[in-house]
Amino acid sequence: MSEELRQAAKEYLVRYGGDSFPNLFRTAKGTVVTDSDGREYLDFTSGQMCATIGHNHPAIVEAVNRAGQKAFHFFSGMIPEVVVELARTLAQDWLPGDLERTIFINTGSEATEVALRMAKMYTDGYEVLVLGGSWHGITGGASAVSMASDRKGYGVPPPGVFVIPEPNAYRPYVAGMNEEEAALANLDIALKMFDMQSAGRGAAILVEPVISAGGVLVPPPAFMRALRKAADDRGMLLIFDEAQTAFGRIGTRTGAEYFDVVPDIMTMSKTLGGGLPLAAVATTAAIEEVLHDKHFTFYTSHVSDPLGAEVGLAVLKVIAEEQLVARSRQMGAYLRGRLEELQQRHEVIGDVRGLGLLLGVELVRDRASRLPAHKLGALTTAKCFEKGLSMNIRRRPERGSVWRIAPPLTVSTDEIDRAVDILDKSLRDSLA
C-alpha cells in the first residue's frame, strides 16, 4: 500500500521544495507522528511549528465537530458569533498593550499581507525595514520582505525594502563588540542608510521577535526597544510577526510581552490554529478607525470563517487550562539543560540558544573557526529520522547550520530524554 502510494506521489504531486521526507504519513497524536508503515516519530518540529498543544488534541477535534454542528463557512460579509468571541478573548487575555481589534484569515503569509496593507494605508507610505534572514511568508508581498534565497526566480520584488542586519550573538558581524553593542551599531548604520535612501515614505518596521527560520536568534531587549523608537521617530508602524512566538512557544504569552515592547500591529498564525489554518492580525482601535475611514479592505473567501475561530478559541482555552505558557518555560529549561550536556560532549555543537521551547542548536566544524557544518547537519538529521525523531535543520550558506528544536508544549520529560538520546547517538554515528 505505502509503496504503491509512494509511486503515485511521484506521478501526481507537484514538488514544492523544502525538506521532504522519503515516507508518507498517516496519523499524528500528541508529540508523535506515524508514517504509512506504522513507524512512529517524535515530532520535535510541532509539524510546521503549529501543533503547540500537541497533534489532534481532543479539544481541537471537539471544536471541529462543534463547527460541523453550527457552520464551517459563511458569506465573507457575515460575521459569525464565534469570531467575535475569539477577538474578545484575544484582546482581553492575550494581546499586549492597547492592541484590541483583530481580523482573522488563514495563513501567516496572508497575515503579513494584511499587516503591510495596514501600515502602508495608515502611513500613506510603502517603505519597509526588515531584519536580514527573516521569514514572513511566501506570497508576493510577504516574500518581498523575507530572506532573498526563497524568492529567487520569481521576478523583481517591489521597491522600498530595507534590510537591518539581524542580531546574532554567536556571529555578531562586528568584531570586538558584545552582542548588544553590535546589534545597536548595526541598527544605527542601517537606519542612517535608510534615512539617506528613503523617499520619505516609510511605512513599517517588520520583525519576528525571535528570528526563527534565520537560525533561532534572540535579539537583545535594547535592540527591540530601539526599533520601537526608530519607528516612532519616523512616523512608521512597528509590526511584530508572532507566527511562532505568540501563545506560549517562548515561555511568555507573546514576544511583545517577553521584550516589554508593544508593536502597533501584531500578526499571529501557526500557533493560533494548533495545526488548522488560522491567522490573525491585531492593531489598536485608533489605527483601525483611521484604516476604516480610508476604506481598508482584506476581503477573502475565508476571512472570518467560523471553523477557524472555533478552533482558535479551543486552542487558547487549552493553553490557559493546561498552563502551557509556564510549561514551555519549565520544559524549555529542561530540554536546554539536556542539550547543553550534549554540547559538552560534542565539539561540533557550537551554540545552544533560544527561549522557552523554541531552541536552536548550531553545528560547527570546530568551535574555534565556527565554520558551519552543513553536511554533518544534513546527515545527522537524516539519521535522527531513521531512529524515530523528526527534526528541522535550518541551513543557510552565510548563516550556519542550526537545528530548530520545538516540540509541542505538552511534551514530557520522557519524550525529551528519548529525543536527546537519539540526537546524541545520531551525532556519534555521523562523526564515526
Q: Which is nearer to ligand PMP, 305 or 415 (CB)?
A: 305
Place of cell 481541537: 60
Q: Is 421 a catalytic residue?
A: no
**Binding residue for ligand PMP, selected from 43, 166, 179, 208, defined by CB under 6 A:** 208
Distances in Å between the Cα of 405 and the Cα atoms of 27, 31, 49, 216, 276 are: 21, 13, 10, 9, 21
Q: Which is nearer to ligand PMP, 348 or 359 (CB)?
A: 359
Q: Which helix (H) or strand (E) holds 224?
A: helix 221-234
Q: Is 135 a catalytic residue?
A: yes
Give yes or no for residue 212 binding ligand PMP (CB under 6 A).
Answer: yes
Place of cell 498593550: 97
**Binding residue for ligand PMP, selected from 31, 46, 102, 109, defined by CB under 6 A:** 109
Q: What are phi and psi of 418, to 5 degrees?
A: -65, -40
Q: Which is nearer to ligand PMP, 338 or 404 (CB)?
A: 404
Cβ-proximal residues to 197 (8 Å cutoff; 6+ apart), any chain: 162
Q: Which helix (H) or strand (E) holds 41?
A: strand 40-43
CB 350 within 8 A of CB 323: no
Q: Which stretch binds ligand PMP (CB under 6 A): 8-16, 207-215, 330-338, 348-356?
A: 207-215
Q: Which of 425, 405, 431, 403 is nearest to 416 (CA)?
A: 405
Q: Is 92 a catalytic residue?
A: no
Give yes or no for residue 251 binding ligand PMP (CB under 6 A).
Answer: no
Q: Is 94 a catalytic residue?
A: no
Place of cell 503579513: 112
Binding marks (x or -) toward ligand PMP, 216..245, rule CB under 6 A? Answer: -------------------------x-xx-
Q: Which is nearer to ligand PMP, 31 or 212 (CB)?
A: 212
Q: Is 6 a catalytic residue?
A: no
* Binding residues for ligand PMP, total number by CB under 6 A: 15
Q: Which is nearer to ligand PMP, 137 or 350 (CB)?
A: 137
Determine which one of 234, 249, 394, 404 is catalytic. Answer: 404
Q: Is 244 a catalytic residue?
A: yes
Place of cell 484604516: 291
Give yes or no for residue 137 binding ligand PMP (CB under 6 A).
Answer: yes
Binding marks (x or -) toward ligand PMP, 319..348, rule CB under 6 A? Answer: ------------------------------
Q: Which is nearer to ligand PMP, 109 or 123 (CB)?
A: 109
Residue 268 CA to residue 239 CA, distance in Å, equals 11
Please give the residues from 110 up to 129 whose contact with ligand PMP meets the rule CB under 6 A. 112
Instruction: Supply the minimum distance, in Å, between the C-beta of residue 387 and ligand PMP.
Output: 26
Residue 332 CA to residue 249 CA, distance in Å, equals 9
N- to C-terminal Cα distance for the chain?
A: 36
Residue 40 CA to residue 139 CA, distance in Å, equals 33
**Binding residue for ligand PMP, selected from 30, 54, 108, 214, defined by CB under 6 A:** 108
Single-letter code of the amino acid located at 147: M
Residue 235 CA to residue 23 CA, distance in Å, equals 50
Q: Which is nearer to ligand PMP, 49 or 63 (CB)?
A: 49
Single-letter code of the amino acid located at 430: S
Determine which one of 208, 305, 351, 362 is catalytic. Answer: 208
Instruction: Supply the minimum distance, in Å, between the C-beta of residue 109 and ligand PMP.
Output: 3
Give yes or no for residue 269 binding ligand PMP (CB under 6 A).
Answer: yes
Tell me the residue nearest to ligand PMP as measured from the CB.
108
Give yes or no for residue 273 binding ligand PMP (CB under 6 A).
Answer: no
Residue 430 CA to residue 432 CA, distance in Å, equals 6
3-state secondary structure string across 360-377: EEEEECCCCCCCECHHHH
Binding site for ligand PMP (CB under 6 A): 107-109, 112, 135-138, 208, 212-213, 241, 243-244, 269
Residues tagged active-site: 135, 208, 241, 244, 270, 404
